[in-house]
Amino acid sequence: AISIVEAMMTGCHPLVARWRGADCLYAPDHLFSSPGELVRRFGEWLAGDRRAGSLACRERAVARWGREAAFEPFVECLERALT
């Protein structure tokens, strides 16, 4: 999952399969629970302003994890989800 966070830092809009604790790390519009939902979310991304979405994704990631390594907040979030 660290690679997903790193991708977000570059402006990539991730589509992440929902798992226990995923909502602690990713915005609801990044999560999907079924193949149909994945297709729908991808279609929404294609239909939208991808440049603006990319910049917003990057800004969200930087605001959430900062410009430095995201490892420590990620581990803390996972520990909370697993307890």
Q: What is the pLDDT of residue 67?
A: 63
19 conformational bin, left if phi > 0, alpha if psi -120 to 50, beta if neither: beta
Mean pLDDT, consecutive 10-residue segments, the chain of 83 residues?
A: 76 90 87 96 92 87 71 69 75
Q: What is the pLDDT of residue 40?
A: 95
Structure-block tokens of residue 11: 């402006």
> What residue has token string 């629970």?
33
Q: What is the pLDDT of residue 43?
A: 93
Q: What is the pLDDT of residue 39?
A: 96
